[in-house]
Structure formats: structure tokens, C-alpha cells
């Protein structure tokens, strides 16, 4: 089957037609998807009727399945997490800050797959910021300042007992029940600028939130630099707004984009099944 790849017309993202992902793919089809993925960084596959087995099989064409560090898997599965929110929920939107998934791991997941199970009729878009464009469009002087730096990543601000998700309001019910642990305090370093191994383009890797410092810089200077970078990383011109449809699967490349969830679907349940693609 030959595939049709239609770019979103925004900073990244493309829609892929011509595949039935409920069936095993040929080597040629996988190669076509990989090529489109390296070019567009976020791919969406509409009109797919997929089971959790299909989601896991699809994920494994691109890397290994792996455990999510701070999300419990859904019942009966080891590698699938639910991104869920109740219609009447008032807790903060989960994953609303820009991030690259689990960037605080020594070898973070190269990508993520997200399958729409219950998609609200409005809102709940996922935003993606193209980090190749962000790097390429920043002033040369800033590129030079950051290109040799090493960033310190950690989940402390999110999943430690003092983190964002560490003290849920007991009076507010939440569909997301992340694992809160002192493990989240661990740190891991990565270059602040990486070169993508497939498309060869440079990108800023990581973002305020999971990036908590810069090696060799004091806290204040590091935070100032991270804030300056953040403004470039999330500029409107670098952003693709993904609008969901029922029965849609998307995959994104964590080495090329940051992503962020959005709200705007009060009164409707939202449920997606997620796998991460590990190197
Ligand atoms: C995520 O970060 O995996 C969640 C994205 C979303 O809910 O749109």
C-alpha cells in the first residue's frame, strides 16, 4: 500500500493516509513512516480502529516498549498508560507544561504514541513545538552560548512529594493518579543541543520543568538562560496545534519536539492510551 503524507502547514506535523494499522505493516511501509516521521516529527493517522495489541505492535516498529517511570499502566498491560480526565474534573490539566517525555532518564524515549479512545467534541488539542526550528531561528549569539552546555534534568518538580503532582487536593477528584516518589529527585545530564540521529538537524533538548539547571552555572544564571531559551522554544511560529478526531493515533519524536496538553473540554470525558518508544 502506498501512503499519502499531508503536511499540516504549521511548524511541524503531517497526516498519514493509506495504512490500516490494525494489520501488521510491511518493511516498506515502516520505512515510509520513519522517513515521514524524521521530516515532520509528529504524524497523525486518522480513521484507525485499533486495539491495545495493535498500539503495542505499532510502537515496536520504531523502538522498544518500556515502563513509564511515574505513570501506572492500565489494568492488564505493562506498557500502556492512560491519559484521562473526567468530564467534571477541576484539577489542573495533566501535562499542560511544555516537555519532552521522561527527559530525566539516562536514555529517554525517542518517541511517544497516543491513541484517542474518548475524544471530546471540543478542546483537548495537543501542542507541539518544533525544536529544530526553534534552534535554527534563534540568534547565532544565543546558539553559540548554548551549543556546548550540559543540562541537568530531573522529575523533582513534577513527581516528587514536593512536586506539582505531589500534593493533590484531597477534595478534588482526578482521573490521573501518577506515582509520587523520592525517586523523582534523581538527576541526569544531557547536552542542551542535540543532533537528531536520523535527520541530522540540531535541536534544543529539554525545557524548563524537567530541566532544572545547567552544569557549571549558578542557579540564578541557569534559570535566566532557561527562561530566555524557553521563549524561543515555544514561539508561536514553532508551534503545531494538533486537533484530535475519534479513532486517531499520533506519534511524535521527543528529540525534535516539545509537547503540551491543553484544556477546553469541560463537561466531556477525555481518554487516550499512550506508549513510549524506547531506544
Ligand atoms: C501527554 O503529554 O502525553 C499528554 C498529551 C495530551 O493529553 O494531549
Mutate to test the pocket of ligand 1, among 70, 81, 109, 126 (most ligand atoms within 8 A of CB): 126
Residue nearest atom 1 in ligand 1 by C-alpha distance: 95
User: What does the pLDDT look like over 128-169, one tens digit per residue?
Assistant: 999 999 999 999 999 999 999 999 999 999 999 999 999 888
User: What does the pLDDT look like over 237-260, one tens digit per residue?
Assistant: 999 999 999 999 999 999 999 999
Mutate to test the pocket of ligand 1, among 69, 128, 155, 259 (most ligand atoms within 8 A of CB): 259
Q: Region 259-270: what's the mean pLDDT?
A: 98
Length of the chain: 279
Atom of ligand 1 minimally distant from the CA of 259: 2
Cβ atoms of 153 and 189 closer than 8 Å: yes
Cβ atoms of 186 and 104 closer than 8 Å: yes
Rg (CA), the chain: 18
* C-alpha of residue 23 to centroid of ligand 1, in Å: 25
- pLDDT value of position 179: 97
- With 80 as the cut, is the pLDDT of residue 1 above it? no
Cβ atoms of 87 and 119 closer than 8 Å: no
pTM of the entire structure?
Answer: 0.97
Cβ atoms of 273 and 119 closer than 8 Å: no
- With 90 as the cut, is the pLDDT of residue 211 above it? yes
* Distance, CA of 17 to CA of 208 (rounded, Å): 35
Please give the CATH number for the structural domain made up of 4-277: 3.60.130.10
- What is the rounded average pLDDT for all residues in the chain? 97
Strand order in the sheet with 257-261: 239-242, 126-130, 257-261
* Distance, CA of 229 to CA of 249 (rounded, Å): 31
Q: Which helix (H) or strand (E) holds 221?
A: helix 219-233
- pLDDT value of position 110: 98
* Distance, CA of 253 to CA of 239 (rounded, Å): 14
- With 90 as the cut, is the pLDDT of residue 170 above it? no
Domain ranges of the chain: 4-277
Percent of the chain scoring above 70 in pLDDT: 100
Query: For 4, phi and psi rounded to 5 degrees?
Result: -115, 125
**Owner of C-alpha cell 477528584:** 173
- pLDDT value of position 112: 98
Amino acid at each position: 500500500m502506498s501512503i499519502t503524507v499531508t503536511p499540516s502547514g504549521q511548524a511541524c506535523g503531517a497526516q498519514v493516509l493509506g495504512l490500516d494499522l490494525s494489520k501488521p505493516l510491511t518493511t516498506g511501509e515502516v520505512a515510509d513512516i520513519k522517513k515521514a516521521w524524521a521530516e515532520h516529527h509528529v504524524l497523525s493517522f486518522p480513521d484507525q480502529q485499533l486495539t491495545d495489541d495493535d498500539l503495542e505492535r505499532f510502537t515496536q516498529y520504531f523502538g522498544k516498549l518500556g515502563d513509564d517511570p511515574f505513570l501506572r499502566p492500565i489494568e492488564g498491560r505493562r506498557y500502556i498508560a492512560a491519559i484521562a480526565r473526567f468530564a467534571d474534573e477541576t484539577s489542573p490539566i495533566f501535562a499542560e507544561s511544555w516537555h519532552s517525555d521522561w527527559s530525566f532518564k539516562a536514555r529517554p524515549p525517542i518517541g511517544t504514541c497516543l491513541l484517542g479512545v474518548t475524544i471530546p467534541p471540543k478542546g483537548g488539542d495537543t501542542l507541539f513545538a518544533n525544536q529544530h526550528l526553534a534552534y535554527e531561528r534563534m540568534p547565532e549569539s544565543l546558539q553559540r552560548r548554548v551549543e556546548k552546555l550540559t543540562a541537568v534534568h530531573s522529575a523533582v518538580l513534577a513527581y516528587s512529594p514536593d512536586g506539582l503532582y505531589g500534593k493533590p487536593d484531597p477534595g478534588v477528584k482526578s482521573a490521573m493518579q501518577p506515582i509520587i516518589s523520592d525517586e523523582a529527585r534523581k538527576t541526569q545530564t544531557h547536552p542542551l543541543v542535540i543532533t537528531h540521529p536520523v535527520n541530522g538537524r540540531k535541536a534544543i533538548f529539554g525545557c524548563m520543568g524537567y530541566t532544572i539547571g545547567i552544569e557549571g552555572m549558578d542557579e540564578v544564571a541557569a534559570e535566566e538562560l532557561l527562561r530566555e531559551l524557553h521563549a524561543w522554544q515555544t514561539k508561536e511560529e514553532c508551534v503545531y496545534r494538533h486537533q484530535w478526531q475519534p479513532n486517531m493515533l499520533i506519534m511524535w519524536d521527543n528529540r525534535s519536539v516539545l509537547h503540551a496538553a491543553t484544556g477546553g473540554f469541560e463537561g466531556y470525558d477525555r481518554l487516550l492510551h499512550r506508549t513510549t518508544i524506547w531506544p
